[in-house]
Amino acid sequence: MAMRVSYEEIFRNSDIFNPVSQQTLLAAGKLAGMSPEKSVLDLGCGKGFPSLLWASLFGVSVEGYDLGESYVAYANARAKLLNLEDKVRFFCQDLQTFHCTGTYDFVASLGIELSWLGGRTQALNRFKDMLKPDGAVILTEPVWRQRPVPPQVHKAFGTKEDSFLTLPETQKLFHEAGFEELGCFVSSKQDWELYVRPVFVTMQKLAQKRPEVANEAQAISNSFKAEADFSGEHWDVVLWVLKPI
């Protein structure tokens, strides 16, 4: 059945669409070596919260791309509100047809599917081409805790065994693609709570306002709850800071 509740509605009161805390973003920016005069390419930027934070804290300039028009409009309005519009710009763009013409000090890939950039290995190679010398990639990837993954997890997530790698498999992939790890942050239960709580409240309000989508809103909350509940046991979301070797 087609979804009647849009992603814009689901994330209406969310700033970041990932179980990643401001503390982790701060630590990642610091580890990556962010400073004024340096630049960030934010792929699948959503509402732009991570790169707006880096621009505010470290003075980096930002170019962000996302398919969602309303997210891009929100991100640009937020940049203006923060007096960052001279340094920070967000654009509407499908990453599946994105041709990067410039190079940047940092590439952020937070919550995007690497298949949009041709698959895991090709995406990592493309990131390298997008980087200036001494640059770094900041990326999140979901990882299985162990294999085989229990069927109830695949049922709840709509995934298959090869949808994600395990943590050691992901580290091997990075190494084989020519990256070293500067940092690796596994989302905590609190990070998950900060991510899912605004969605629960938003879905509850939506169900009251539009009773015809109440069942769908409840199902959406249930799927976010399953993701949070299964974290730490069957899967994790991990943020990496990677540097080409």
Ligand X SMILES: C[S@@+](CC[C@H](N)C(=O)[O-])C[C@H]1O[C@@H](n2cnc3c(N)ncnc32)[C@H](O)[C@@H]1O
Q: Give contact residues for ligand X (rule: CB under 6 A).
A: 16-18, 44-46, 49-50, 66-68, 71, 94-96, 110-112, 116
Of the pair 200, 214, the CB lying nearest ligand X is at 200
Q: How far is the CB of 211 from ligand X (least distance, A)?
A: 27
Q: How far apart are CA 132 and CA 102, in angstroms?
A: 9
Q: How far apart are CA 119 and CA 79, in angstroms?
A: 31
The distance of Cα 54 from the centroid of its chain, to the nearest Å, equals 15
Of the pair 99, 147, the CB lying nearest ligand X is at 99
Q: How far apart are CA 81 and CA 47, in angstroms?
A: 13
Of the pair 94, 169, the CB lying nearest ligand X is at 94
For every residue of 181-202, DSSP letters joined together read EEEEEEPPHHHHHHHHHHHHHH
Q: How far is the CB of 185 from ligand X (least distance, A)?
A: 14
Dihedral of alpha carbons 210, 76, 190, 228, sign: positive
Q: How far is the CB of 245 from ligand X (least distance, A)?
A: 26
Q: How far is the CB of 70 from ligand X (least distance, A)?
A: 9
CA distances from 101 to 38, 43, 98, 109 (A): 17, 14, 9, 17
Q: Are 191 and 16 in contact (CB under 8 A)?
A: no
Neighbouring residues of 121: CB distance < 8 A, sequence distance ≥ 6: 173, 176, 177
Q: How far is the CB of 176 from ligand X (least distance, A)?
A: 25
Of the pair 122, 208, the CB lying nearest ligand X is at 122
Of the pair 96, 215, the CB lying nearest ligand X is at 96
Of the pair 23, 215, the CB lying nearest ligand X is at 23
Q: How far is the CB of 181 from ligand X (least distance, A)?
A: 20
